[in-house]
Amino acid sequence: MHVLRVGFNYKTTPLETRETFTFSEDHLSQAVKQLAAEKSILENVIISTCNRTEIYVVADQLHTGRYYVKRFLSEWFEVPIEDFALYLQISENEAATQHLFKVVSGLDSMVLGETQILGQIRDAFLAAQKAQTTGTIFNELFKRALTFAKRAHHETGIGAQAVSISYAAVELAKKIFGDLKKKHVAIVGAGEMGELSAKNLLGAGVGQMTVVNRSLENAEALAKTFGASSATFDHLPSVLKQADIVISSTGSQEPIITKEMIAPVQMKRKGAPLFLVDIAVPRDIEAEAGQAENVFLYDIDDLQHIVDDNLASRQAAAAKIEHMIDGELVLFEEWIQMLGVVPVITALREKGLAIQAATMESIERKMPDLTAREKKVLQKHTKSIVNQMLKEPIKQAKEMSACTKREEALNLFIDIFGIENEVRTILDKQNYKESETLNSNGGSHISFPFLKHLPSK
């Protein structure tokens, strides 16, 4: 049994191709079910965001797994395989698992250490669970990955510092003013940077927002999106009088806010602090405007220094997380290795307890006058005998998971204790999809396919 990751991401795939291979949220359930029906695919989860489409599968064979995922993509999007094969990235087993841990931790994102992907992967996993396309392997793997990502972000603080200009502007405002709930922010310019600033301000809980633009129509359109008020440049002095924070990002070739404009505004504001952030190139705010009393002016170079410092901090945190991932991969491999042993140990315990229960029934038939207390004592001691007898065999079974010929060793163990039927029943209940073959003596042999690709210790 093998884990495969097949997909496209922003690093190697053009936007137009990523757009073509995007699964809509409404059809995701149908997609994972259709993929699950493909031969060789035992489990699957589909992650589809604006920056990536990745399909994770558990397959019984690597080559057939790769083929059927490609065929599924081709049929679902009605695109010949040869038209997208160039952009398709495929990783297998430990590399696929390692990639999932990196993605969910934000190490493979456009913005290093961002947390949005964590929620997106959680939603994709839950959708697959609901559609019943996950099983033993992915239920464990994705839960481990999601839990790890939360811990890694908490322990390293990788996402705590701003690494975009607009976000850095908002974080700087928070450092100066603290709580922004009672602050009035003016967004000057209704373009992309203005919109990003408005989004970050909204996330920071800003109390009041005004969008100022040369075109009132554009100002109103952006303001409507964020529940803000709107104004044109003609009303800028009036807006400055009311605002605590101004973030400017227009396409003007000349300054929008000048020293002459700020001086009378500050007189009317009675010296209340005014925080000006100029993220435009060319600059929207004259440098001399920052010389006025209680006016704090930052331009894009100031913010870029903050971003560069923060990015260096995130890269250091990312290195720590990568080291932490190595430890998680070892733990997951150990868990996988134990998969074949668990049903064997369970079967051994069940058989031992069944013998104990049958023995107790025989004792009670032959000694019907036993008191409740005597029955309880016998029950306790006969179970204790079983547990003590099974302690060493169970220890040996666990050690078999790490040996070179683990499958042959487990089958010998099964034969010695006569628990073949019990093991098969457990495997059937747990949907391990084990196969039955014949050994060299003509007897039956239980196959544990998920053990085959694992290295022995």
Domain assignment of residue 327, yes or no: no
What distance in Å separates the CA atoms of residue 427 and residue 445, rounded to the nearest whole number? Answer: 13
Kindly state whether residues 396 and 255 are assigned to the same domain: no
Q: What is the CATH number of the domain that holds 142?
A: 3.30.460.30
3-state helix, strand, coil in the chain (%, to 5): 60, 15, 25
Kindly state whether residues 11 and 152 are assigned to the same domain: yes
Kindly state whether residues 170 and 283 are assigned to the same domain: yes
Domain assignment of residue 146, yes or no: yes
What distance in Å separates the CA atoms of residue 424 and residue 313, rounded to the nearest whole number? Answer: 53
Kindly state whether residues 288 and 177 are assigned to the same domain: yes
Amino acid at 53: T
Provide the token pair at 157.
């603080």
Q: Give residue 198's pLDDT.
A: 85
Q: Name the E strands within 265-360.
A: 274-278, 295-299
Domain assignment of residue 325, yes or no: no
With residue 163 as reference, give the H or E element that holds it. Answer: none
Kindly state whether residues 395 and 423 are assigned to the same domain: yes
With residue 211 as reference, give the H or E element that holds it. Answer: strand 208-213
What distance in Å separates the CA atoms of residue 400 and residue 341, rounded to the nearest whole number? Answer: 8
Kindly state whether residues 190 and 303 are assigned to the same domain: yes
Domain assignment of residue 37, yes or no: yes
Kindly state whether residues 77 and 200 are assigned to the same domain: no
Catalytic residue among 11, 14, 37, 50: 50
153-158 long-range contacts (CB < 8 A, ≥24 apart) are 153/105, 153/106, 153/113, 153/115, 153/118, 155/324, 156/317, 156/320, 156/321, 157/317, 158/105, 158/106, 158/112, 158/113, 158/314, 158/317, 158/318, 158/321
Kindly state whether residues 263 and 408 are assigned to the same domain: no
Q: Examine the fold and report which residue of 160, 181, 212 is the final residue of a domain before the chain moves on.
A: 160
Q: Examine the fold and report which residue of 116, 140, 160 is the final residue of a domain before the chain moves on.
A: 160
Domain assignment of residue 348, yes or no: yes
Alpha-carbon distances of 245 from 180, 231, 234, 385, rounded to whole Å: 10, 16, 19, 76
Q: Give residue 334's pLDDT.
A: 82
Domain assignment of residue 31, yes or no: yes
Please state the domain count of the chain: 3
Residue 282 preceded by cis peptide, ω within 30:
yes
Kindly state whether residues 380 and 233 are assigned to the same domain: no
Per the annotation, the verdict on 403 as an active-site residue is no
Give pTM, 2 decimals: 0.68
DSSP state of 455: P
Q: What is the CATH number of the domain that holds 240?
A: 3.40.50.720
Kindly state whether residues 129 and 179 are assigned to the same domain: no
Domain assignment of residue 373, yes or no: yes
Intra-chain end-to-end CA distance of the chain, in Å: 18
Kindly state whether residues 204 and 64 are assigned to the same domain: no
pLDDT by 10s per residue, the chain, length 457: 799 999 999 888 998 899 899 998 899 999 999 999 998 899 999 999 888 999 999 998 899 999 999 999 999 999 999 999 999 999 999 999 999 999 999 999 888 898 889 999 999 999 999 999 998 889 999 999 999 999 999 999 998 776 778 778 888 888 888 888 899 999 999 988 888 888 888 888 888 999 999 999 999 999 998 999 999 999 999 999 999 999 999 988 899 999 999 989 988 888 789 999 998 888 999 999 998 888 999 998 888 888 888 889 999 999 999 999 999 999 998 888 777 788 888 899 999 999 999 999 999 999 999 999 999 999 999 999 999 999 999 888 888 776 778 788 888 899 999 998 888 888 777 654 443 433 434 445 666 655 544 444 4
What distance in Å separates the CA atoms of residue 204 and residue 387, rounded to the nearest whole number? Answer: 58
Give the side-chain half-sphere CA count within 13 A for 83.
Answer: 13
Domain assignment of residue 200, yes or no: yes
| Inter-axis angle of helices 116-130 and 136-156, nearest 10 | 160
Q: Quick check: 100 and 9 in contact, CB under 8 A?
A: no
297 is in which domain, residue-wise? 165-307
Kindly state whether residues 135 and 19 are assigned to the same domain: yes
What distance in Å separates the CA atoms of residue 277 and residue 178, rounded to the nearest whole number? Answer: 16
Q: Give residue 176's pLDDT.
A: 83
Q: Give residue 437's pLDDT.
A: 37
